[in-house]
Amino acid sequence: MIKADLHIHTILSPCGDIEMTPSFIVKRAKEKGLNLIAITDHNSTRQCEEVVRIGRREGVEVLCGAEITTKEEVHVIALVDYTVRNLLQEWIDVYLPKIPNNEDYFGYQLVVNEYEEVLYQEPNLLISALNRSLDQTEEFVHSIGGLFIPAHIDKPQNSLISQLGFVPPGLRAEALELSRKSDLPGLIGSCGWLKDYCFLHSSDAHYPSDFGDVFTAFDVEKPNIESLKDALKNNKVML
């Protein structure tokens, strides 16, 4: 059994706290007994590599990913194998609108190393919607062997339910993510068509106080993306 938090933001996300650095995230994951975490900044994978490097040294498995905003303003989590992270980033770069970030209004978008030295500053606003639909995003993520997970579906903004009112028939989602304060029985009671889906709990951490208390347990031996695929397919998941 492993404990996983598959939705964590870093200092790269404009809404991410200045303390959400690679070193802090790995340290907190160890303190909270998390075996597996995923770095999912808004529309970017560029901070993943440093967190993966530190995690390998410290014994915390780290998946690369992004929280993608689709054309419909729906947030989805894309998780990919480390070897194809650049393919996901190249795809995002093509479809992210070239809107300059206003640091004074939205916050800085920084990639930093273990010592909090700035390696890169993203010039384009990362919370914009990509020029790709939900279906097009799902198709691409699966084409590179990734996991496609609509984020915080119970939230009143930027979720499948808030934006569309339903889960589109035929949408190939490995799971649906619940927000940290979700009432799953109540949600299924009001949206009965959700009962056949697999669900995850993630922190969606933007601040240190958000991180570590919300997680999903997976009945697998190895904390990697292939094991996650098997667990989600066979519903080896405990909230």
The closest alpha carbon to 179, from 208, 161, 203, 156, belongs to: 203
Q: Tell the residue number behind the tokens 């998941």, with chain if given.
A: 237
pLDDT at residue 167, rounded to an integer? 87
What is the mean pLDDT of each successive set of 10 residues along the chain, which is 239 residues long?
A: 96 95 97 96 98 97 98 98 97 98 96 97 98 98 98 94 89 93 84 86 94 91 89 88
pLDDT at residue 184, rounded to an integer? 85
pLDDT at residue 189, rounded to an integer? 83
- What does the alpha-carbon distance between residue 175 and residue 151 come to, in Å, rounded to a whole number? 9
pLDDT at residue 156, rounded to an integer? 92
2-238 — its CATH code? 3.20.20.140
pLDDT at residue 60, rounded to an integer? 96
pLDDT at residue 212, rounded to an integer? 83
pLDDT at residue 238, rounded to an integer? 87
Contacts of 84 (CB under 8 A, 6+ apart): 144, 145, 146
